[in-house]
Amino acid sequence: MLHYVLTYGPCDGFMIATGLSLAFMLVTLIGIARVYLGMHSLTDVIAGISFGIVILAFWLVVHDHVDAFVVSGQNVTFFWASLSLVMCFAYPRPEFPTPSFEFHTAFNGVAFGIVYGVQQTYTRFHGPEAPLILSHQLPLLAYAGRVLVGIPTILAVKSCSKALSKWLLPVMCSTLGIPTVSSCYVPALKPSDIGGGSGNKDEAKQAGGYLQRVFSLFPQKAYDVDTGIRFVQYAGLAWSVVDLVPVIFTHLNL
């Protein structure tokens, strides 16, 4: 974040020193907190910082190419949707249950929503001529109006995306014969409530057809529909940030 602030916005020596100090303090406090809470060892923290530096260095090399592909590439949405699907299935299974996969899925959804939205609306809202916060193009009053309109809109889209996917995804999976469970979002699909009689299984097999046989080849007996629900709601949230909300701002002259 500091790199983008210092690269794409006006800055001087004081701003650079302040930004570096805040970034160093934040990284240090997070590292100390992880050790203090017993969540990680000092070796873990040092390794995490090292990985972060390597990832940042790699990203600074490729980010212009990624931006160019997202903005003007071909089949961007299909590629990113496929990549998101692969990343969800390729995630390593932890020895003990952790919330990390939930964060991973949410991040995947946000990335897909941003890529889809920016790819559709870059020339309208996200080009170099986009107004900077608190500049003469976007004064404080207009910025406050954007916050008051934008934040509720984003939260409403997230809520609607979640409600829609909670209803639609289980129906789609059931129709296609894909075995699913739900850890929290859909009570009717909790593992303890699934099983039923053999008649229900036979009906599912008949309805599933080819897809049912394909999924039976995988070692995983059922798929957590919460993963899809979480992905859709965060994809909807991110899409609204870069596509829907700017359209609303345009109509409201914000």
- Strands of 49-157 (E only): list them: none
Which of residues 110 and 132 earns the better pLDDT score? 110
How many angstroms separate the CA atoms of 109 and 237, rounded?
Answer: 9
Residue 96 has pLDDT above 90, yes or no: no
Rg (C-alpha) for the chain, rounded Å, is 22
* Least-confidence region, from 3-17, 36-50, 195-209: 195-209
pLDDT in tens, 236-254: 999 999 999 999 988 888 7
Reported confidence tier of residue 197, pLDDT bands at 50, 70, 90:
very low
How distant, in Å, are the alpha carbons of 102, 109, 110, 225 from that of 178? 21, 21, 25, 10
Flag the least confident range among 94-108, 166-180, 205-219. 205-219
Q: Which of 49-53, 175-179, 216-220 has the lowest mean pLDDT?
A: 216-220
Q: How many other CB atoms sit within 10 Å of the CB of residue 85?
A: 13
Of all residues in the chain, what percent carry a pLDDT higher than 90? Answer: 29
- The pLDDT value recorded for residue 188 is 72
Report the chain's mean pLDDT, rounded to a whole number: 81
Structure tokens at 148: 């008051």
Mean pLDDT of 33-61: 91
Beta-sheet strands, E only, within the chain: 180-181, 223-224
Q: Which of 71-85, 89-103, 144-158, 212-226 has the lowest mean pLDDT?
A: 212-226
Rounded average pLDDT over 114-139: 80
pLDDT band at 212 (very low <50, low <70, confident <90, very high): low
Structure confidence at residue 13 (pLDDT): 80
Closest-CA residue to 239 (of 139, 122, 110, 147): 110
pTM of this structure = 0.75
As a whole number, mean pLDDT of residues 186-190 equals 73
pLDDT band for position 61 (cuts 50, 70, 90): very high
Q: What is the pLDDT of residue 119?
A: 86
Please report the pLDDT score of residue 201 as a whole number: 46
